[in-house]
């Protein structure tokens, strides 16, 4: 019997069936009926462990519905964070990324960049201890903010190519947003030159292609971390 791992972020749900830490096909859903989507994934197969990582609140009634469709439900909450020595204010997706990075790069310091609605940057020392992290607006959030909070700037998206300086409104926005994020990344890398640099999240590949430094791209880092949490939970139980 396989485990089902589910990560609900600010804009989308990602899920995967897994055997141990081996992930299967990744499913993605954007919409308001996330509980129904999770339940639909269990119609043909009952998970042994269903792991839920969510930045959104689930009512006790909805938690009960999830408990009914699996053998064991594990919600990544403060007790899980505490068991991994992570601060209780941390979101569960960031915690899962750290768990996976500890496993993949054991004995090495890491700087973990997660490119989503927000850009989070987390720092691990060579012993896997969390040393702190930062949050700033993600790429799409920066484009949307310029459009929303100005009277005249258009809504744009990340281009395939940018110039070092803009020569009209559109190219100025594109260069400003993308170059700003690149300078941000490079600053963190220069500040922690001994660390392994790990990119994950929706825009990870976009920015990795533009880096001159050595980068490890792990697109499903959060899901891998949740799979590891499920395995360790099973071993303790």
Rounded-to-integer distance, Cα 198 and Cα 110, Å? 7
Nearest Cα residue to 144 out of 134, 157, 135: 157
Which residue ranges make up each domain of the chain?
3-85, 94-223
Q: Which CATH architecture has domain 94-223?
A: 2-Layer Sandwich (3.30)
Residue-by-residue pLDDT tens, the chain, 237 positions: 699 999 999 889 999 999 999 999 999 999 989 999 999 999 999 999 999 999 989 999 999 999 999 999 999 999 999 999 999 999 999 999 999 999 999 999 999 999 999 999 999 999 999 999 999 999 999 999 999 999 889 999 999 988 888 899 999 999 999 999 999 999 999 999 999 999 999 999 999 999 888 899 999 999 999 999 999 988 876
Q: Is 93 a catalytic residue?
A: yes
Which listed residue (7, 36, 77, 93) is catalytic?
93
Domain 3-85 has CATH 3.20.20.70: no
């Amino acid at each position: 019997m396989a485990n089902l791992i589910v990560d609900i972020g600010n804009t989308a749900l990602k899920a995967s069936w897994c055997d141990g830490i081996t992930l299967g096909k990744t499913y993605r859903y954007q919409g308001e009926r996330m509980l129904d989507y999770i339940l639909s994934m269990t119609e043909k197969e009952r998970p042994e462990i269903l792991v839920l990582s969510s930045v959104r609140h689930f009512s006790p009634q909805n938690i009960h519905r999830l408990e009914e469709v699996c053998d064991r439900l594990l919600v990544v909450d403060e007790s899980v964070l505490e068991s991994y020595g992570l601060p209780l204010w941390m979101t569960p997706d960031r915690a899962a990324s750290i768990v996976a990075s500890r496993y993949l790069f054991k004995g090495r310091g890491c700087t973990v960049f997660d490119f989503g609605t927000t850009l989070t940057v987390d720092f691990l020392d060579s012993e896997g201890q969390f040393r702190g992290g930062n949050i700033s607006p993600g790429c799409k959030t920066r484009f949307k903010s310029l459009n929303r909070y100005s009277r005249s700037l258009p809504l744009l998206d990340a281009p395939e190519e940018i110039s070092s300086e803009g020569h009209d409104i559109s190219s100025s926005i594109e260069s400003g947003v993308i170059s700003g994020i690149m300078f941000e990344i490079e600053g963190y890398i220069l500040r922690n030159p001994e660390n392994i640099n790990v990119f994950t999240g929706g825009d990870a590949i976009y920015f990795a292609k533009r880096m001159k430094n050595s980068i490890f791209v792990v697109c499903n880092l959060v899901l891998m971390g949740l799979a590891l949490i499920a395995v360790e939970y099973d071993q303790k139980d």
